Amino acid sequence: MAEARFHFIFWLFVGVVLTKFCLCQNDTKCEQDDCMAKVQCPEPQKFGSGPPKTCAKPSDPKNLPKSKLESWFTKEMFNDLFPKANLGWGPHECSPYNYESFIIAARYFPEFASEAPNNGYTADQNYKRDMAAFFAHAVQETGENDASLYTGQPKEQADDCFYRGGFFNWFEGGPTSSFLPSSSPGYTPCDGKVCTAQGIYCTSSAELDYFYPCNKEKSGEYSKGCYFGRGAIQLSYNYNYGQFSNWLNKVGIKVDLLKNPNLLMTKIDPPLAIMGSLWFYMTPQPPKPAMHDIIMGQWYPGDKNKAAGYSGPIFGPTSLIINNECNGEDAVEPGGPGESRRIKAFKWFCKYFGVPTGEDRHLTCKGMPATLDMIGGNVSWQPDWSMTWKEEPCRCAPASYGGMIAYYQPERYPDRFVSLNEANAKYCVETIYDNPSMYSMTPETSLCLKAKH
């Protein structure tokens, strides 16, 4: 979640020509005809030696079908939006961030930028608002974010350069990360294979140690189990690496990110650097809904928020998902990091795509009467304590407190997540018999452990 800000010694201005893409002058319409917009931006500062001349290309071992977004979001658009990606070198198929990796990742989430619920927006508007929201969070998390662009340039031109700085960093604290050895500070994707003690980010408890155990291996003075932020939206901590790794295994991609977390940046079959961020954007973690479901209006706001108008397809609550930020938008440009940057970036991407942002008050969560942790929904599968004393097979039941195995309430989450409940309940039972002590269960106090299951 680190902020990257640079002060350049000099600026070399180069012309960036946007062919057949119009930066719209309003929030509702953009005619993508044969117009040509010209944006002059400073050459970004580059870090490292750039992408290798040869490499294995990103690929999909599952050969999933094309996503709907590929019919409208082109490689030219990706390259136009992210000319400073990959530490300033630009999109490249030998670097983590490129169009090919992006579309492969999107194929694993067919609803992303391709879903059109009946929420008051057209299908096209829903697709593009969804993508704008994802890109906005990526700008805040790993963008170049160079405030000096606003010195000596008109605001509109500075905006066009500033918000084209997404997908810049790979590692938290980048481009030169203090979490990494000084000899390998983050200028190649492989640099993240070991870290200092500050980059371990391992959270421990009886349950976490069972479900998401950290790799305790060392390489000299450095650690291999490093769960600091990586990727476009900075996947952080062992429990997020573990959950993403479990999801990958369920869809047929065998990988152990708890043992080797830097595979998030180096694995390209399929490429995970963007996929991990899309997984986080698309997946609810009760009591938090998915950011995608918020922007689609498929989330449960609670009675207080609904009465105050904070419901439906709005951007504001998405800022609560990553860092629980609710400070509103700064009046100055480019403003500070956090929610303000997310809001400003969302507005810019919506302008680029020619879609409405929604009401200004809904761009922030600052006015929400109840935050997401105040509206319930923190429900998990736990041992069914009403029957553990019986000598019959142990069962699990939804419990109104957090845990490692999510229960998706039908009134709060889309059907694709509710459908996971049956399998999650069975998994919960398996964990009881495999490691009853983490639930403080013993055969003497919980007779169900003596029964066959």
Residue 397 DSSP one-character state = E
Residue 364 shares a structural domain with residue 414: no
User: What tens digit of pLDDT does each residue of 176-207 get?
Assistant: 999 999 999 999 999 999 999 999 999 999 99
Residue 348 shares a structural domain with residue 431: no
User: What tens digit of pLDDT does each residue of 370-404 get?
Assistant: 999 999 999 999 999 999 999 999 999 999 999 99
Cβ-contact 342, 1 below 8 angstroms: no
Q: Using pLDDT thresholds of 50, 70 and 90, give the confidence band for residue 37.
A: low
- Residues with Cβ < 8 Å from 328, sequence gap 6 or more? 339, 340, 343, 364, 366
Q: Does position 12 have pLDDT exceeding 50, yes or no?
A: no
Q: Using pLDDT thresholds of 50, 70 and 90, give the confidence band for residue 32.
A: very low
pLDDT score, position 445: 96
Residue 131 shares a structural domain with residue 191: yes
User: What tens digit of pLDDT does each residue of 400-430 get?
Assistant: 999 999 999 999 999 999 999 999 999 999 9
Q: Which of 319, 353, 375 is the last residue of a domain?
A: 375
User: Of 4-13, 242-251, 325-334, 420-429, which gets the smallest average pLDDT?
Assistant: 4-13
* CA separation, residue 91 to residues 83, 96, 206 (Å): 7, 8, 42
For the chain, the 3-state helix, strand and coil shares in percent, each to the nearest 5, are 35, 10, 60
Rounded mean pLDDT, 68-76:
98
Cβ-contact 64, 109 below 8 angstroms: no
Residue 365 shares a structural domain with residue 391: no
pLDDT score, position 24: 40
Residue 350 shares a structural domain with residue 385: no
pLDDT score, position 40: 82
User: What tens digit of pLDDT does each residue of 311-354 get?
Assistant: 999 999 999 999 899 999 999 999 999 999 999 999 999 999 99
Cβ-contact 273, 170 below 8 angstroms: yes
CA–CA dist 409, 336 (Å, integer):
37
Residue 361 shares a structural domain with residue 432: no
Residue 126 shares a structural domain with residue 197: yes
Cβ-contact 400, 381 below 8 angstroms: no
User: What tens digit of pLDDT does each residue of 253-303 get?
Assistant: 999 999 999 999 999 999 999 999 999 999 999 999 999 999 999 999 999
Angle between helices 339-353 and 123-142 in degrees, nearest 10: 140
Number of domains in the chain: 2
CA–CA dist 21, 320 (Å, integer):
32
Q: Which of 345, 375, 405 is the last residue of a domain?
A: 375
Tokens linked to 295 = 């922007």
CA–CA dist 225, 259 (Å, integer):
7
Give the helix/strand (H/E) hosting 430: helix 421-434
Report pTM: 0.92
Closest CA to 242 of 210, 288, 290: 210
pLDDT score, position 437: 98
What letter represents residue 50's amino acid?
Answer: G
- Residues with Cβ < 8 Å from 330, sequence gap 6 or more? 336, 340
CA–CA dist 333, 340 (Å, integer):
10
Tokens linked to 143 = 């963008």
Residue 323 shares a structural domain with residue 442: no
User: Of 15-19, 211-215, 299-303, 336-340, which gets the smallest average pLDDT?
Assistant: 15-19
Per DSSP bridges, beta strands 380-383 and 222-223 are: unpaired
* CA separation, residue 27 to residues 18, 19, 125, 292, 425 (Å): 19, 20, 11, 21, 45
What letter represents residue 160's amino acid?
Answer: D
Q: Using pLDDT thresholds of 50, 70 and 90, give the confidence band for residue 452.
A: confident
Helix locations, 174-289, DSSP H: 206-211, 238-250, 263-266, 275-282
Tell me, yes or no, if 430 is annotated catalytic: no
Residue 260 shares a structural domain with residue 199: yes
Q: Which of 340, 360, 375 is the last residue of a domain?
A: 375
From the candidates 141, 144, 172, 325, give the one annotated as an active-site residue.
141
48: buried, middle or exposed (CB in 10 Å: 19+, 13-18, 0-12)?
Answer: middle
HSE-up of residue 285 (Cα within 13 Å, Cβ side):
14
Domain that holds residue 194: 1-375
User: Residue 244 belongs to a domain with what CATH number?
Assistant: 1.10.530.10
- Residues with Cβ < 8 Å from 6, sequence gap 6 or more? 45, 144, 146, 148
Residue 386 shares a structural domain with residue 282: no
- Residues with Cβ < 8 Å from 57, sequence gap 6 or more? 93, 100, 268
pLDDT score, position 9: 29
Residue 40 shares a structural domain with residue 163: yes
Residue 442 shares a structural domain with residue 362: no
